[in-house]
Structures are given as C-alpha cells and as structure tokens.
Amino acid sequence: MDGFTRRRALTGALAAGWFAAALALPSAQSRTQAKPDPAPVAQAARPDSADLDAIARIKEEALQRSQVMDTLWYLTDVHGPRLTNSPGLKAAATWAQGRLRDWSVPNVREETWGPFGRGWANEKLTAQVLAPRPFPLIAAPRAWTPGTDGTVTGEAVVTAIRTDADFATWTGKLSGKVVLNQPAVDIPLLTTPLARRFTDQDLVDLQVQPVNPGRGRGARAGGPPTAAGFTERLNQFFAREGVVATLEPGTGRNNRGTILVNNAPATYWSANPPMMTPQLVVSSEQYNRLVRLVDGKVPVRLELNVQNRFVGDSLDAFNIVAELPGTDKAAEVVMLGAHFDSWHSGTGAADNAAGSAAMMEAMRILKATGLRLRRTVRLVLWTGEEQGLLGSQAYVKEHFGDPVTMTLKPEHARVSVYFNMDNGSGAIRGVYLQGNEAVRPIFATWMEPFRSLGMTTMAIRSVASTDHRSLDAIGIPAFQFIQDPLDYGSNAHHTNNDVYERVQPEDMMKNAAIAASFVYHAAVRDELLPRKPLPRPQPQPRPASTQ
Ligand SMILES: [Zn+2]
C-alpha cells in the first residue's frame, strides 16, 4: 500500500468492508495456490468508496475559486457563435487550447477529422420591411446558405409549394420576389413557466425504466411524408426562378422573438453545393404579419442585405484534446467531454459552451488540486455534433473501432468511461445509467457526497442525441448527467436567445465539481468500470436529431 492509498479516506462501514475483504482474500487464495501470491492485496478489487478528502479539495476549488463563467464568457460573448469549421469556432478553439495550457494541462492538441465541408459565417444582415409600414425583421440566415448580391429589394409573395406537382403553378411568376412558402404559425397563449427545475416527483418519475410499447395495430404516424429530396428540388426551383430570398418562420421554441435556426440540407456545406437562394428565418409573429398583409392584398416590399462568407481553406475539421497523465495505470483512460460547436443565431451558450466550460473547468480543478490520478484523464471537445455527432463518430472510428462491423482496436479495451455534458447549464440532479445496471452501486457511492448540491437520482434509461452515444454504440461505458431543464428546451436550444444569460453560474460551478469528482473516482478506481454486453454490428448511427 503506497502513501497515496493510505490517504484515501475510507470511511465507516465501507472502510470496514474493504479491510474485511482485503484480509479474507489472501487466505482464500492460499487454499487454491501452491505458491503464495506475491501481492494479493493489490490484486483485490476494493469496494467502491467516495474519497472524501479528494471531494473536499474538489469542492473547495470548484465552489470558491471557480473560473467557469470566465471560460463561458470567452466562448460566447468573445468568440461565439461556434458553427463547425467557422472562423468563430477556430478562434474559440485557439483560445480554449491556450487557456488549458495556462492551467498547466499538458498534451493539448487538435485532432483532425474529416472531410467535413466548408466553413461559413454570416457577417452582415439587414432585413427591413419598407411597405406598407417600415419595420426591421428579427432574422437570421440558415447556415451555409448564400447571401444576397448587396442590398436588394423585392415584393413578398406567399406560395404553397408542397409537392413537385406545385412547381408548374409558380413557374415564371417569382423572379425578383421574396417568397414566403410556409403558412402562418399558430402561436398559442403561453400559460406555463418558461423555465423550471426538476421537482422531487419529476426525479422519481425519471427512475422508471421506459418500455418500448411498439406501434400496435392501426397506429399511424401523423402527416404525409415529404418526398425524398423535395427540399433540395424546391431550393433549386427558387434559384432557377430568380427568387431574391425565401423567408420562413423561426418557430419551435415558444416564438415571442425567439427564432430557431439551423442549416439548409447537408449537401450545402460540401465543396460543390447545389443552387440555392438566400434563406432567412424570421420571428414567427413578424412572419405571420407579412402573410396576413399579403393575404389581405396589401403589397409588402422588403429590403435585404445578407453577407455570408464561405471559408474553404480546409474541408477537414478537428476535435480539441487535452490530457492529464496518469501514473501506475497511465495506459488506461478516463474520458470527459462536451461538444464545442454551436448553431449560429445566438452565441451557443447553453448549447454547448456550458458543457464545454464545465468540462474544461473540471480539468482545471483536477490539475489545481494536485490529486494523483492513476489513469490518464482525457478531455475531448467535439465538433460537428450539431450536424449529426460527426466529430465523435470520427474519433470512435479512429481510436476504438467501427460500430458497423464491431471490429475493435486495442485502445477500446483501455477506456474505462466517458462522461458527456450537453443538457444546457442546469444543475446536475443525477446521472442516466444508459442501461448499465452494473454501475449503479458504484455511482451511488460517488454521488452521495453531492446530495447536498441536489444530486440524488439515478435513472436506468438511455439517452441519445449527443456525443456519448457515439461511444456507447461501440460498447464503451458513456454517460450523460441528469440536469435541471431551466429554459433550455423552451427558449435557448438552437435559438437566437441561446446567449450568456441562459447560463446559471451557481449551477455551472456545481456541475464542474461533480464532473471532476466522477472523473477522479473513475481514474483512481482499481478496475475499469463494468461494461454492458458489446453491441451487435449495426448500421452507421444516424440520429434523428442532435442536442
Ligand atoms: Zn448540444
């Protein structure tokens, strides 16, 4: 037993249990082995316990000397937004690597993946209604769409092109027009709070294992499906017809000036994108006003100036990697991470500067406390998440294996666990076990000292739609924490309102402490964390949505 092991704060019944196990094992082995084991105690896996000395140091550093909101400020106000391969992302990445080095975190680097596609940034946008009354629009371009040719004006036209058969109706009628091809949005009265924390009952409900009910007889999905490739054909039709720009309502997050903006179809960030017109997402109420005016035969004229810049110097993208080296188990790895990229109409604060800043802070805490890590601790800040977990999938394929064939690489066997953070800035209330019952008693022990910070709950359910899913899919234990919802889903996620104010400082400080502690305990544990059975070979995971 080295000095470090003695320092571990084994307490109460857990400590008594460990000593009993440690004492019992050699005699049990001596009955079955001719030669005495030279180091039987070292080979005995101790029951898990929370290292209260380490946790006290972690809490002190995280809650009294936090830098997490300073990190968040740089990632949002200064360098945000951070669309994959955009100039903002690259500036933020350079800053983050510098900050990690300032904290004396070694082995900070970019790890290239790709090809992804072109970088893109909006550099100017004015969207002004000129008539019947002048007013400015709350608007943002869809990512990877082209800008206008300087300042352009056009009359608003409301179309209803829903299928290929509708193209003929509008051929020759849209040149020089600003097209509104979606109906007005129904905007219900808001009668529930925009933001909330989990209640005790919510946390109880989360612990129930969901069962897939199947679709049952007669069940039908709602609405007719859009024909394959229709959106691309529609965009090309508008471009061929000489449309100035298209407008659409930015609905999806309660409206009221909040616009949800993502990208045009995936092919548009490729090196050779198809034809398309500028595409602007505008506030739903303003969109409805324009539709009502046109329907009422009141002519609407708009003036637009959208300057979007494509950056084509490299089609490759990169993840950011930083490592704290381990000691006696340095070849084994404990991973933590978050996606670093964001959408572009806000500054990507809750999604996901919050997760990135908390995980960077966890690295700072581990370094600043000087706690001895047995395994190497590796931070990865992913890119391409919002386009389909692309950065983490590429990393898994490079390092761990191919989930399509389940052909594994040697590094697969040396990773204990990956902790991900991508549920906004809400305080951690527990952890999703991702279907892995074997980690429940271990996490219960690690979680107990954080009960006073509100972390009480383990939910067996699996959650998807973010980067831990890429590691889970290859059979590496990978987890997301349960976080208070706050106003993440109602107001922030993927919107122009995802800015610095959406992030709650105290929650962030708690989250960094918990992440640092879970990572620490995984890094000093005798064994790797238990795994689920290996997944079967599977088609390349293509999540329906990302977070
Ligand atoms: Zn996200």
**Structural domain boundaries in the chain:** 3-43, 70-116+316-524, 119-188+227-311
Distance of CA 469 to the CA centre of its chain: 11
What is the model's pLDDT at position 12? 33
Q: 63-67, 267-271, 315-319, 512-516: which has the minimum mean pLDDT?
A: 267-271
Closest CA to 84 of 356, 383, 305: 383
Rounded mean pLDDT, 163-170: 97
The pLDDT tens digits for 83-130 are 999 999 999 999 999 999 999 999 999 999 999 999 999 999 999 999
pLDDT at 273: 82
Is a pLDDT exceeding 80 seen at residue 220? Answer: no
Going from the Cα of 353 to the center of ligand 1, the distance in angstroms, rounded, reads: 9
Residues in the chain: 547
Ligand 1 centroid, distance to 206 Cα (angstroms)? 21
pLDDT the model gives residue 6: 32
Per-residue pLDDT averaged across 243-249, rounded? 97
Q: DSSP states of 170-203 as a string? A: HTTS-TTEEEE-SPPPP-----S-S-B---HHHH
The answer regarding whether domain 119-188+227-311 maps to CATH 3.30.540.10 reads no
Mean pLDDT of 482-508: 97
Separation of 351 CA from ligand 1 center, angstroms?
4
Q: How far is the CA of 519 from the centre of ligand 1 (A)?
A: 21
Q: Answer yes or no: is pLDDT of 15 > 50.
A: no
Is the model's pLDDT at 169 over the cut of 50?
yes
pLDDT tens-digit series, residues 70-79: 999 999 999 9
pLDDT at residue 41 greater than cutoff 90: no
Cα(339) to centroid(ligand 1), Å: 6
In the chain, % of residues over pLDDT 90:
81
Question: For position 210, what pLDDT does the model report?
Answer: 85
Among residues of the chain, what percentage have pLDDT more than 70? 87
List C-alpha distances in Å: 299 to 2, 244, 288, 434: 82, 16, 15, 55
Average pLDDT rounded to a whole number, residues 286-290: 98
pLDDT at 217: 53
Tell me what pLDDT residue 215 has: 53
Please give the pLDDT value at position 252. 84
pLDDT of residue 31: 36
Q: Distance from the CA of 81 to the center of ligand 1, in angstroms?
A: 13
Assign 42 a pLDDT band (cuts: 50, 70, 90). very low
For residue 20, pLDDT beyond 50? no
Contacts of residue 387, defined as CB under 8 A and 6 or more positions apart, other chains included, come to: 84, 116, 263, 266, 269, 546
Local confidence band at 229 (pLDDT 50, 70, 90 cut-offs): confident
Residue 1 has pLDDT above 50, yes or no: no
Domain 70-116+316-524, architecture per CATH: 3-Layer(aba) Sandwich (3.40)
Confidence band, pLDDT 50/70/90 cuts, at residue 382: very high
H-helix segments, 336-420: 354-369, 390-399
**Cα 338 to middle of ligand 1, angstroms:** 8
- State residue 274's pLDDT score: 81
Q: Which residues contact 151 (CB under 8 A, 6 or more apart)?
A: 126, 303, 304, 305
**pLDDT over 90 at 254, yes or no:** no
Q: Are strands 478-483 and 152-158 parallel, antiparallel or unpaired?
A: unpaired
Mean pLDDT of the chain: 89
Q: How far is the CA of 396 from the centre of ligand 1 (A)?
A: 18
Rounded distance from Cα 354 to ligand 1 centre (Å) = 9
Residue 222: pLDDT over 60: no
Crossing angle of helices 505-524 and 354-369, rounded to 10°: 50
Verdict on whether the full-model pTM lies above 0.85: yes
Residues whose beta carbons lie less than 5 angstroms from ion ligand 1: 351-352, 422, 547
pLDDT at 468: 97
Q: Which helix (H) or strand (E) holds 442?
A: helix 440-447
Strands 428-432 and 478-483: antiparallel
Pairwise CA distance, residues 543 & 535, whole Å: 17
Cα(141) to centroid(ligand 1), Å: 20
53 CA distance to ligand 1 middle (Å): 33
